[in-house]
Amino acid sequence: MIYQKLNETIIQLVGGKENIQAVVHCMTRLRFTLKDRSKAKTEELKNVDGVIDVVSNNVAYQVIIGTHVNEVHAELVSMLGINPTTDSNQATKEKKHPLKAMLDLVSETMTPVIEPIIASGLLAGFLSLFTITGVLSEESPTYILLNSIREAVFFFLPILIAMSCAKRLKASPYLAVALAATLVSTSINGVAELSIFGISLPQTTYANSFIPIILAVWFMGHLTTFLNKYIPKFLHYFLNPVLIMVICLPVTLLLFGPIGIWIGDGIGLLFKLLMDTFGSWIVVMLYAAFQPFLIMLGAGNFMMPLALNFVNEMGYDPIFLAAATISDLAVAGAMLGYFLRAKESKQKQLFGTVSFSALMGVTEPAIYGAFIKYRRPFIAVMIGGGLGGLFAGLMNVKTYSIVWGLMGLPSYAQNQDFSNLIFMVIAVLIAFIGAAVSAYILGIPETNTAKNEEETFSEETALEKESTFAKKLTLQPVAKGELVQLADIKDQAFSTGALGKGIGIIPSTSEVVSPVDGEVTVVFPTKHAIGIQTKEGVEILIHIGVDTVELDGTYFDTIVQPGDKVKKGQLLATVDFDGLKKEGYDTTIIVVITNTTDYLDVIPAIHEKLVLNDEMVTIVF
C-alpha cells in the first residue's frame, strides 16, 4: 500500500467513500463518478502532495495523478472495496445524454486497448527503421515473426474491444470474446455467399473493425439482462450462455455487422468530404492546434477509432495520428520554453519532467500540471502545433501504422516512403521549435506561491489537529459465551476478513441481543442473519452459525423485522443451539462490520469469556 496515505486523503476530499459511485482511470487520471460533486473539496484536493491537478467538467470529476495512476487506482479500489471490473457498470446507472454516453463508452473502451496498440505501432516503427538501415529484410524470418505481433493486434482487434467493453455493457467478457473470435474466424470473416436459417448474409470483413463488435456486445448486455429476468434461476448456468451465443451471432451477422461497416464508411466519407472541400491541411492543422483541449475534456482517445477506420479503409491515416504526434511535440516544446524561462528550481523540475513525458507521447502531466495553471502554453501549442499541422497537411503526410509520439517517427518511412518521413520530421520540428519560442516569449505568469503554501499548511495543520480527537463506538456482546477471533472461524469469507473485521462468539445461552442502538436493515428469510445500522453509519452483520442458511429457518425464532428501531441489549432472536449441534452445525455467532474501510480501525476484544457488559468490538473513526 505505497499510496495509502494519498488515497485516504483523496477519498476524504471527494466527499468520502459514500460519495463515490465509481472510479476508473486512463493514462494519467482518476475519473470519479460522484453522487454529489458539491461535497468534493476541489481546491484542497489540488494542493495535496501527489495530485497534479483536479478538473471537474461534464465528462467526469478527474484527479490528475501522473503516469503511475494505474498503481494508485489499484490501491484505491482495494480501499473502497470496489471491484474494478464492475466499476464502470455502477457508473452507467447515472443517467446520461445518449451522445455523451456513447462518447464515454468509446473513450473508456479504447483506454485499455491502447496498450497493445502502442506496442504494435512502435514495433512497426522499429521494423521500418531496421529495414531502412539494412539490419533486417522484409523476407527474413525474424522480420516476419516480429511483424506478426503487429498484424495480430489489428487483425484480432474485435477481440480486444469485446473484452474491454463487455463489463461496461453488462455482458460476460468471455462470451463477448467468444463472439468476437467467431466473427474473425476463417469461416465467417470476409467469406462470401454465407447464409443462416436460409437468409443470405452480406460479405463482411470483421478483422481490424471495432464498431460491429461494440454494437454486438451492447446487444449481448441487454439480452443477458432479459434472459436473467425470465429464465428460471436454476437454468441460468446451463441455458443462458448457449441462448446468448445462438441469438447474438445471427443478429450480428444480419444487422450489426453491416451497420458497423456502414458507420465506418460514413465516417470515412465525412472526413473525405471535408478534405476534398477544405483540404486535409486545415483538418490536420486544427487538430494539432486544439488536441490539448480535447485531452483536458477527457476526449483525447476518441480520435483512435477514427484513425483505425482510416488505416483499415485506406492503408494509412491522413489526419489524426500525425496531428496527434505534432501536437504532442508542440506540448513538449512549450514546456521546454518554460523550462528555459523558469528561475525557480521547483518550476524547472516540473517543466523539464513534463516536457520529456510529452516528448514520449504522454501529454496529460503537462496539460494538467502546467497548461491549466498557466494557460499561456495553450496559445504556444496553438501556434506551434498549428504551424506544424499546416505543413504536414500541405505535404499530405501519411501515418501507416497506429502510432504516435517521437518513437513512432520511423514508421512514416514504411513502404519506402522516405519523403513522407522527411516531411513529418520537418513538421514536428516546426511544432516543437515554434511552441518553445512562443512559450518563452509569452512568459510564465506570476503566481502567489507563498500564499498558496501558507493556506496549504494551515489546512494540513487543521486536519492534523482534527485527527487527534478520534471518536469511538463500542459494541457489546450479542450473547454470553466464549470469544473466537475471526481468523479461527471455519468460514473462509469471514476468516479472511473479506466481509469486514469483527469477532465470533460460541454462545452459552439461546438469546441473541443487539450490540448497539440502531435500526434493523435486513433480516434474512432463513432467519440466520440480521443487519443493523447505527446513527453513525456503522453497518453490522450478525451471522448466527456457520452454513446455517441450509436449515431454512429451522431452530431460529427472529423477534425483529427490517425497519425496527432497537436498543443495545434488546432481544433480536432466540435460537435452539442444541438443535444446531445435533444437526452437526457450528453454532458460532459471527459479528462483522461490513463497512470496515470507512473507519480508522475496528478492534475486536481479547477476553476469553464475554458477558453482556463487556466491550465486544471497538470502532475508531
Task: Identify which of 306, 305, 299, 304 has the alpha carbon closest to the alpha carbon of residue 275.
Answer: 306
Task: Say whether 556 sits in a helix, a strand or coil.
Answer: strand
What is the structure's pLDDT at 302?
61
What is d(CA 366, CA 381) in angstroms, rounded to the nearest whole number?
12
pLDDT at residue 572 tops 90 = yes
What is the structure's pLDDT at 440?
92
- Residue 399 carries which DSSP code? B
Residue 559 CA to its chain's centroid (Å):
44
User: Any idea which residues carry the catalytic annotation?
Assistant: 26
CA torsion angle for 562, 565, 571, 576 (degrees, to 10)? Answer: 0
- Helices and strands of the chain, counted as H and E runs: 22, 20
What is the structure's pLDDT at 519?
93
DSSP notation for 2-13 = TTHHHHHHHHHH
What is d(CA 370, CA 383) in angstroms, rounded to the nearest whole number?
17
What is the structure's pLDDT at 47?
84
Task: Identify which of 290, 386, 377, 305 has the alpha carbon closest to the alpha carbon of residue 342.
Answer: 377
Burial class (CB in 10 A: 0-12, 13-18, 19+), 617: buried
Helices 236-251 & 173-183, crossing angle to 10 degrees?
40
What is d(CA 605, CA 503) in angstroms, rounded to the nearest whole number?
8
Q: State pLDDT tens for residues 288-331.
A: 888 887 776 555 556 677 777 777 777 788 888 888 889 889 99
Task: Say whether 501 sits in a helix, a strand or coil.
Answer: coil
Task: Spell out where 332-405 has E strands.
Answer: none
What is the structure's pLDDT at 368?
63
pLDDT at residue 154 tops 70 = yes
Could you tell me if 570 and 520 are in contact, meaning their C-beta atoms sit under 8 angstroms apart? Answer: no
Dihedral sign of CA atoms 586, 591, 594, 596 in order:
negative
Q: Of the ranges 128-132, 148-152, 239-243, which is most confident?
A: 239-243
Least confidently predicted of 70-79, 148-157, 598-607 = 598-607
Q: State pLDDT tens for residues 450-482.
A: 344 333 334 334 334 444 344 678 899 999 888
Q: State pLDDT tens for residues 218-230.
A: 999 999 989 988 8
CA torsion angle for 117, 120, 121, 125 (degrees, to 10)? Answer: 170
What is d(CA 160, CA 270) in angstroms, rounded to the nearest whole number?
27
Task: Say whether 186 sits in a helix, a strand or coil.
Answer: coil
Q: State pLDDT tens for residues 393-404.
A: 889 898 887 777
Share of the chain above pLDDT 90, in %: 23
Give the pLDDT band of residue 167 (cuts 50, 70, 90): confident
Domains and CATH numbers, the chain: 4-90 (3.30.1360.60), 100-271 (no CATH), 279-446 (no CATH), 472-620 (2.70.70.10)
Q: State pLDDT tens for residues 534-561.
A: 988 899 999 999 878 778 788 999 999 9
What is d(CA 457, CA 309) in angstroms, rounded to the nearest whole number?
51
Q: For 22-42, what is the mean pLDDT? A: 81
Task: Identify which of 531, 496, 536, 520 has the alpha carbon closest to the alpha carbon of residue 18.
Answer: 536
- Strands 556-558 and 539-544 turn out to be unpaired
pLDDT at residue 448 tops 60 = no
- Residue 370 carries which DSSP code? I
Q: What is the largest CA-CA distance in the chain?
A: 89
What is d(CA 27, CA 357) in angstroms, rounded to the nearest whole number?
12
What rounded mean pLDDT belongs to the chain? 80
Q: Residue type for 149, please? A: I
